[in-house]
Structure 1
Amino acid sequence: MYGSDYVNVWLDDVEVPGLGRLQHHVLTMPRPSTTSVVTDEQGRFLLLWRHRFITDTWGWEVPAGWADPGEDPAGAIGREVEEETGWRPGKIVPLIAYNALSGISTMRFNSFHVTDCEYIGPPKDRSESSRIEWIPEAEVVRLIAAGQVADGPSLTALCYFLGPHRTATNA
């Protein structure tokens, strides 16, 4: 087994109906993950342009992060949005929660819709992105279609917001 503040990995003995027992790798995340779709009154989305060293790729992402032990996920995303973008959330509403890797992991994401932001200054954590931009919805859709939003949590949050969430709230 390997364990840290970010991930725990071990091999477990699992019984699969119809197949019997087998060894299966398990990943657990000690802290909940949070993501946000941040929009303004003009229908723009706040996105970060960043490099991910593990995949050695650049792409657009939504503000996201970990909840600290005992921290409410909504409070965590409020803190993350402010730290990563320099914009302080006014309203934080639950959007969707989902299991990111159900077949191998307990990783769970809580996604929120953040609005009514107030600019308070440059982001506290300059390492989070090289650019922060308010992007019109049509451009966000184009970026998604062009593969420039390749981060799974960002893609899930944005696509859910633009699809099922919007359909449900406009019904």
Structure 2
Amino acid sequence: MSVWRNLGERTVYENRWATVNMADVELPDGRHLDHTVIRLRPVAVATVVNEADEALLLWRHRFITDAWGYELPSGGTGEGEDPATAAAREFEEETGWRPGPMRLLLAVDPMPGISTSHHRVYWSDTAEQVREIPEDHFESQRREWVPLARVPEMIARAEIRSANAVAALLMLHQQRCVRA
């Protein structure tokens, strides 16, 4: 089996959110190359699907890509924090809705060739609105209940661009289709 081997890393930048390292990688043929590695803490992601098969999404602008799109509430998991608890916390802070019991939907590594950004996506089928304006209202321009039936066309039109949202919403859409 041919594998790339990480022979060691040196840190080139670090803050509380990310560490950027340069790795000395040995390729299967023996050659070496410097490879950038971005180490991030785990991400907890959440959504709620209501009785009408609608998912609560955020509409927001991302300055890095200069693009608008629908996303799922998400954030970093604190040291030793249960990812399901982190997902529920982020959901409430960003939407103003407190989700019911969270269930793991999927785990995804959006960019495994360069980053350790491990995302765990949770969902619930119940939620209670606990505030009209979310605690983190600045995170999105609006919050919207979107029918799962619209998800494939929204992805095709690049209205949903975030990898964790695309994967999770397609999975929830597929489950809805199987149920129907």
**Residue 167 of structure 2 is aligned to residue 156 of structure 1:** yes
CA distance in 1: counterparts of 2:47 and 2:170, whole angstroms: 10
Structure 1: gaps spanning 5 or more residues:
none
Name the CA distance, whole Å, in 1 between partners of 2:37 and 2:17.
14
Distance in 1 (CA, whole Å) between partners of 2:32 and 2:147 is 51
Residues 13 and 21 in structure 2, CA contact (< 8 A), matched pair in contact too: yes
TM-score normalised by the chain length of structure 2: 0.86
1:63 to 2:36 alignment: no
Instruction: Output aligned runs, 1:74-89, within 5 Å.
Output: 74-89=84-99
Count of residues paired in the alignment: 167
Match of 2:43 in 1: 33
Q: TM-score, normalised by structure 1?
A: 0.90
SS at match of 1:91: coil
Partner of 1:16: 27
Deviation of residue 141 (structure 1)? Answer: 3.1
Tell me the distance in 2 between the aligned counterparts of 1:40 and 1:75.
20
Q: Aligned partners of 1:17 and 1:2: how far apart in 2?
A: 28
Q: Which amino acid aligns with 1:156?
A: A
What's the CA shift string for 1:32-64, capped at 9, x where partnerless? 101123201111110111011111111111111
Maintained 8 Å contact 2:151/2:170:
no
Runs ≥4 in structure 1, deviation > 3 angstroms?
A: none
**Percent of counterpart pairs with the same letter?**
40
Partner of 2:53: 43
Q: Tell which has more relative contact order, 1 or 2 (C-alpha 8 A, sep 6+).
A: 1
